[in-house]
Amino acid sequence: MLRWIIFVVIYSLLGFYVLQALKTATKYQWVYYLATAISLAVLVNFIYQWTYGATEGRVLSRPMSYAAGFLLAIISFKLISIIFLFSEDIFRLISAAYQKLYGTSKEFSLPSRRRFLSLIGLGIAALPFGALLYGMVKGKYNFKVLKYDLKFDDLPSAFDGYQITQISDVHSGSFDNREKIEYAIDLINRQKSDVLFFTGDMVNNKAEEMKPWADLFSKLEAKDGKFSVLGNHDYGDYVSWPSEEAQDQNLKDLKNLQKEIGFDLILNDSRYLEKNGDRIALIGVENWGRGGFKKAGDLKKAASDINADDFKILLSHDPSHWEDVVINDDLHYHLTLSGHTHGMQFGIEIPGWIKWSPVKWRYKYWAGIYKERGQFINVNRGFGFIGYPGRVGIWPEITVITLRQKSLT
């Protein structure tokens, strides 16, 4: 209770401070009162959802996530506005102190706030506020197809031009728009790739979350098959279960559901893709993540039936596995496909100029193609969303990779 009291007091003080800028910037008092009412409504909704809403363990429920998203937008607006207000107040204090010490009146009187500075502060603060709201309404379904050509010296000739589609981090428990998901499924199929890979996190917590969407995902097409691995959320570790048996059954249900959808789920195992007498090895590991994440992945076991000189594609949900284990392994894994980071669902990306997200402070390899020791990884930005119910700047991704043989191109 004490933490809520402290939070409400700080939130209210920030709001009161920012509202002074509104009073300075506009003569329409209804704007002032409307802003106050919206801010308080968002706060009350957040506290209500936190107190009485289902949080699903470490994963926010849908109402809770939207309450948190709106609160985040309001707080970002307040904090950025305060930067301008506080800088002006420092100037006002210095000016008043100077007049007190050296002025003719010898009075301590704060100068009035300058309207244009309040307008500038409010205008700049409106940018992230609007972006966060846009991300919740439109950005989370702003699907992008990102295409890459990767060249290898030892790619089997028959696989030159072979096209892969990768999706990751579906998080079906967060979906709320069937039409948008139908569009995304169609967009994937329009790529007409040879093979489709899904690199984990089909649900937030429970297999039942995927059931309303299974018919749509069963429409995914790839002539050489659809293959998948599990992500950290798929194990159901972030909610309470009445028993271990119930959690085990949930995982079995999810595995069966993936099979019904048409995915060949590879769990610490391998397959071969064959074409015109050539073949490439496909290895899939269970989730392995640095820190407190599940480490069920067993690379040695997964690769036990392949040959050292095979061309290898590895499916591994968490890119920290690639950094900590894969690139240091005795075997050479030509291409690893991962996800997990979501690009934090927030950042700035302008191709050829800037690629930034706060998630880079946790993950060295967090979005896109990287190459180390002659080995490639693609970290998919994710198909769905979780936590903050939106995306800003880091859009949901469908990756299309074309394999090329250097000697033939």
**Same-domain status, 88 and 215:** no
Q: What is the pLDDT of residue 111?
A: 65
Judgement on whether residues 247 and 107 belong to the same structural domain of the protein? no
Residues 158 and 106 in one domain: no
Instruction: Compute the distance between CA of residue 398 and CA of residue 168 in angstroms, rounded to an integer.
Output: 8
% residues pLDDT > 70 (the chain)? 93
pTM: 0.89
137, 163, 195: which is the final residue of a domain? Answer: 137
Pair 44, 99 in one domain: yes
Query: What is the average per-residue pLDDT within 43-53?
Result: 75
Q: How many domains does the chain have?
A: 2
Residue 292 C-beta-side C-alpha neighbours within 13 Å: 3
Token output for 56? 């699903």
140-185: pLDDT as tens digits: 999 999 999 999 999 999 999 999 999 999 999 999 999 999 999 9
Range of the domain at 85: 2-137
Residues 83 and 218 in one domain: no
Q: Which of 94, 122, 137 is the last residue of a domain?
A: 137
Residues 72 and 96 in one domain: yes
One domain, residues 91 and 167: no
Task: Name the pLDDT band for 207 (thresholds 50, 70, 90).
Answer: very high
How many C-beta neighbours within 10 Å does residue 322 have? 26
Residue 264's beta-bridge partner residues? 227
User: Collapsing DSSP states into helix, strand and coil, what is residue 397?
Assistant: strand
Assign 103 a pLDDT band (cuts: 50, 70, 90).
low
The CA–CA distances, whole Å, from 259 to 61, 137, 139, 362, 376 equal 27, 32, 30, 33, 29
Q: Which residues of 376-408 are buried (b: 16+ CB within 10 A; e: fewer)?
A: bbbbbbbbbbbbbbbbbbbbbbbbbbbbbbeee
Residue at which a domain ends, from 107, 137, 167: 137
What is the rounded distance in angstroms from the CA atom of residue 357 to the CA atom of residue 233? 22
User: pLDDT tens across 306-357, in order?
Assistant: 999 999 999 999 999 999 999 999 999 999 999 999 999 999 998 888 999 9
The pLDDT value recorded for residue 107 is 66
C-alpha distances out from residue 288 to 85, 246, 285, Å: 47, 23, 8
Identify the pLDDT of residue 376. 98
> Are 233 and 318 members of one domain?
yes
Q: How far is CA 55 from the centre of its chain?
A: 19
Average pLDDT over residues 188-205: 97
Identify whether residues 151 and 125 lie together within a single domain. no
Return d(Cα 355, Cα 339) in angstroms, integer.
Answer: 17
Residue 142 pLDDT:
97
57 pLDDT band (50/70/90 cuts)? Answer: low
In 218-358 the beta strands, taken as DSSP E runs, fall at: 226-228, 263-265, 269-275, 278-284, 312-315, 335-338, 348-350, 354-356
* Separation of alpha carbons 213 and 178, rounded Å: 8
Q: Identity (one letter) of the amino acid at 191?
A: Q
Calculate the CA 161 to chain-centre distance: 30
Structural tokens at position 271? 């397959």
pLDDT digits (tens, 9 = 90+) for 80-96: 888 877 777 787 787 77
Residue 121 dihedral angles phi and psi, to the nearest 5°:
-60, -45
pLDDT for position 304: 96
DSSP 8-state symbol, 387: S
Q: Domain check: are 87 and 104 in the same one?
A: yes
311 and 402 part of one domain: yes
Task: Indicate if 293 and 401 belong to the same structural domain.
Answer: yes
Q: If you count them, how many residues does the chain have?
A: 409
pLDDT over threshold 80, residue 292: yes
Cα–Cα distances in angstroms (integers) from residue 332 to residues 144, 162, 270, 370, in the given order: 30, 20, 15, 15
Q: What is the pLDDT of residue 70?
A: 85
Residue type, 380: N
Answer whether residue 113 shows pLDDT above 60.
Answer: yes
Q: Which amino acid is at 231?
A: G
What CATH number is attached to the domain comprising 338?
A: 3.60.21.10
Buried b vs exposed e over 281-311: b needs ≥16 C-beta within 10 Å? bbbbbbbbbeeebbbebebeebbeebeeebb
Do 69 and 389 contact (CB within 8 A), yes or no?
yes
